[in-house]
Structure formats: structure tokens, C-alpha cells
Structure 1
């Protein structure tokens, strides 16, 4: 039968989460995400990742060309910078003249208070996600400044730009009263790299209480309908403990009990789709952006599961090497 012949020609479904994700990456991902996957999970050379990232680098020292899929076009934007720094940090290559040039670029594009807006105005418009509105005089935001400052501090970078940007982050983090969940995510990225550790611990303790009081994170995925979506977010666009405490060493890990984090990681592992990739919960505003973001989400899911010792390759020895989850403060 023709149908039987077609089914016999179909490739078999890979047996493990990692193998299914690998197939998805090769089928759908940009070169950068392919190289990142090969580096993190196949032991390939970091030079290949560095080369792929370099294709997004502009002459002004910033990054563009839709490195963050939400912003299209060639222009350097702060969201692209944050994305590039996360990649360089994962390679252990957040240093040198490239970072010096990047900090000079950040100095030029910062607002009057020395921090970064989400989106810089451009002489001509390029497509971008509707949840990142364009302003003629955009305000500084923790959403972009926090992750950039946190990564630079974690890598012991010292540049004049960091002084005012760090002060901006401290002021925003320590005065937050009503926050978007993504702003909390950025605050954690800052605090995890901030050099003043006692101050960071105190700020994280306060934010953790705020997150629970305002129900900004879904603590039990089985009861997610009881958590109303944040204003302006798409239906189902909710954050979970694993989205905030992406690594066991994060200060946000202490916000959640072992049971809460375990349920969150179970939910993350079960979210892998039949094609091997993980879904994107935010608004799908353009086909290209959605296609490019899913491999990024897949890489982040794999890295988070591995950081917490969840088995990916079907080898029971993986679980034996699982790190201790730690106790909440």
C-alpha cells in the first residue's frame, strides 16, 4: 500500500529527549543555535559558536540582524546585546577588545541616566514585536540593563559605563513594588552577577516575597488556570520557577521549595513536543520570529534540565550525577 510505503520511509523517532531535540535543531535552527547545540551537547569547538555569533556583529560594536528574533533588521539594539553576552558567557569568552568596544557602544546608546532602553529609535522602521513599542525618547529599562550588567560583572569586566548602569539596576531592583514577571527575570540576572553579594542576597529575599505575594510565577503547573495572565501577556504566557531560577546556583533558587521546583522541572521536561522542540509561550507575531525562537527555547530548556541533573540522553548514570537541589532560605 502507498501509505505503508510512506510510513516505512519515515525516519524513526529518536528514543531520548536529547536525540529528539537534536533532530529538531538540525531541521529548524539557525546556524548559531546549531553551533551552540553542538558545543553544549556534542563537545564541539566553541570557535564555531564564536564565528556564528560574529555574523551578527556590527561596525559600531553592537549586535543586530535579528539576533533576538523579536527585533528584525540590521540595527544594533540592546536586546541583541543581552543575547550576545549570554552566548559569550556560556563560552567563557566574555572578555577582551570585543567587550571593550561593546561597552563603548553601550555608552553611546544609553539614556540620560546611564542605562539601556529596550528599543532604540531608528532613522527607518524595521519590523519588531508589538510588545516592544518604539518611542522617540525611550526610557531606560531593567529588562535590558539588568541582564547586560549582570553578565559583565560576573565576568569581572570593569568599564566606566558600568558604574551608572549598576546604580540604575540597584535602584530599580530595590524599589520594585509591582513588576512584570520578565522584569523579575531580569532582576535575577542582575543580582546573580552583582559583585556586592550581601546586598544582592538581601534584595533577592525581598523580591522572592514579592513574587509569591503577587503570584507572578506559577508554583504548581497543574493549577496554572488559577494564575491569571499578567496584563498585556498572551494567553498561556506564564513563568514558572524554572524560568526564574534557571540554574541551581541562582539566588532565586531559594524562593521555591524542592517540591515546587521539582514540579516545575517535570512540567518543563514534559513540554517537549513531538517534533523534539519546546514551545514558545509568548505572542506569535510573525512566522519568522516564531520559527527562530523555538530552537532558542529548546536550547534553554535542555540547559536548564541538565543544570538540575535531569536525564536527557536516557542514561541512568545521568541521574546519579544530579546536583543537590539545595534548600530554600
Structure 2
């Protein structure tokens, strides 16, 4: 599996994913990963330039910035986190939340689902706050963002899979562990009650593409995830079997959402390939 994936990455991946694969699976150094991430950084402390493939423009965006901090932390380097927090504070609303897509992206190519908005977005704020907690950041904006996330999570009566997944990442790292555990249990009940997980029945969420489903491993990518108790051992095992079997003949995995411009297929597939390998390794499905 690793040999096939390595070949796939060398054939198709950006330098960032090549360096990341080397660090994660071949004992490669961390610094080249950090150097590759830095190429996407802007002077405002945020990140752009299609770090997250669906936003093609150069302007700093919250999702790119979250991704940069996450990848840096993955290799043990949090040098971008403080600047990211400053950038996010600068684009946040008074309630502490940040929009999903800033107006600075308006004149540049982006996926149809990257809709410019001013309103605070739970999905984006939960991702950003969660990764900064993971990186050990202390920042006045993070305190306000954390309060915003708690308020919104406590009020959730309905949601969609990507938003729930972002809340899981927030709950995984927020310091108040007792409150996080209780909130995760409530979200798990909501996911099961509303059918927001594909347990082999082809769950379909309104507004998502055909086949764009969330399976147990999308919520619980590691056994220590706060979402792992949502699923039985049998459900998790079947899902991991299906994930392993989804590897394509070229050695990589693919993704279920639309490739709205050709380059995104080539950029997304190495990313989801690495994520699939990490999940399978975390669950003991590969050495």
C-alpha cells in the first residue's frame, strides 16, 4: 500500500504533499515541509495561493490559514500559529466568529461553494479555534472564538457533516475536556438521529454532490477521537475495510466532491491519499 501510494505521490503531487509524505512515512525531515508551507504565506500572517486547492486566489483566507497551522503542527512546528491568530483576529466579527470566505477572494477563481460572506461561520471558526488550541496558542481572539463556538454548538439542533466534522476538531483540542466530552456525546446523538453518517446505506445530505458522504472515519480519523464512541466496533471495522478497498489502481485515493477545474483533481488526490493512509495506520491497518 505504501509503495503504491509513494509512486502515486511522486507522479502527481505538489512539492508540499511530496515533502509531507516523506516526513510522515519515510522518516524525512520536517523543515522542507515548513518551507513548502511558507510559500503560501502572506505578509498579513494569513495564507492563500491555493494552499487549500478550491480557493485559487492569492489573498489570505481563513481556510488556507487553518490548513497551514495544521500542517505545521503535524511536523512539530508551530511557527505560523501566532501570526495566523493575529490575521484571524483582524477578520473576525464582534461575536468572535470568522467568515468562511472573505471578500478579498471575490475577484479570483474559487469553487462554487466558496461563497463570499460577512457572517460568522461555525464551521470555519471551529476549525481555526481548534487548531490554535492544538498548537497551544494563547490569544485574546481565541478566547472570543472559543466562546462563539461553545454558544453555537450548544444551540445546534440541526447541522451538516462538514460543520459537525469541524466541531469535532474543536472539541478534540479545546481545554475544557469535561464540557467537550458532553458536547461530543450530544453531537454524536445528533449525527445518528439526523442520518448525517454513511453506514453503508449511501447517506445523502441536501446540497452535497452525489456520493459526497461522510463515513465514520471522516468524523473519527483516529481511535482517540471524541467521535469514536459514536460508532460500534463493527461499524468502524467495516468502514475501514471499505476505505482500504477504495485505493485506485494508480495507488492513490480519490475524493467525492466535484473537481470544478482540472487542476483540483491532481491537487486533492494526493491530499486525500495521505489522509487515508494516516487513518489506516492510526487504526492498525498498516505498519
Bucket of the pairwise TM-score, normalised by the shorter protein: over 0.9
2:98 is matched with: 116
CA contact (8 A) 2:61 2:102 kept: yes
SS of alignment partner, residue 302 of structure 1: helix
Q: For 1:203 and 1:123, locate their aligned partners in 2 and report how far apart those are by CA, in whole Å.
A: 34
Q: Secondary structure at the match of 2:227?
A: helix
Alignment of 1:26-45 (within 5 A): 26-45=10-29
Aligned mates of 2:235, 2:158 — CA distance in 1: 23
TM-score under structure 1 normalisation? Answer: 0.85
Q: After TM superposition, which residue ranges in structure 1, 4 or more long, deviate above 3 angstroms?
A: none
Unpaired stretches in structure 1, ≥5 consecutive residues: 1-16, 312-317, 319-329
Structure 1: distance between partners of 2:247 and 2:156? 34
1:123, CA displacement in angstroms?
7.4
Separation of aligned partners in 2, 1:235 and 1:124: 27
Give aligned pairs, total.
Answer: 287
Q: Quote the Cα distance in structure 2 between the aligned partners of 1:124 and 1:82.
A: 20
Q: Distance in 2 between matches of 1:207 and 1:123?
A: 32
Residues 295-319 of structure 1: CA deviation (Å, up to 9, x unaligned): 10001001111111112xxxxxx4x
3-state SS of 1:251 partner:
coil
RMSD: 1.2
User: In 1, Cα distance between the equivalents of 2:116 and 2:131?
Assistant: 26
Matches for 1:164-183 after TM superposition, within 5 Å: 164-183=144-163
Counterpart among 209, 215, 233 of residue 240 in structure 1? 215
Please tell me whether residue 306 in structure 1 is matched to residue 262 in structure 2.
no
Query: 1:124: how far off?
Result: 5.3
**2:261 matches 1:286:** yes
Structure 2 Cα separation of the partners of residues 175 and 264 of structure 1: 30
- Give, in angstroms, the shift of residue 99 of structure 1: 2.2
1:74 to 58, 67, 70: 58
Equivalence for 1:276: 251
Show structure 2 runs of 5+ residues with no match: none
Superposed CA offset, 1:261-296 (max 9, x none):
101111111110001110111122111112211110
Whether the 8 Å CA contact 2:122–2:149 is kept in 1: the answer is: yes
Could you say if the C-alpha distance between residues 298 and 310 of structure 1 is closer, same or farther in structure 2, counting changes exceeding 3 Å?
same
Q: Is the 8 A contact 2:10 2:18 kept in 1?
A: yes
Question: Following the alignment from structure 1 to structure 2, what is the Cα–Cα distance between the partners of residues 181 and 233?
Answer: 10
Q: How does 1:113-262 map to 2 (within 5 A)?
A: 113-122=95-104, 125-135=107-117, 138-219=118-199, 221=200, 223-224=201-202, 227=203, 229-262=204-237
Q: CA deviation at 1:154?
A: 2.2
Larger Rg: 1
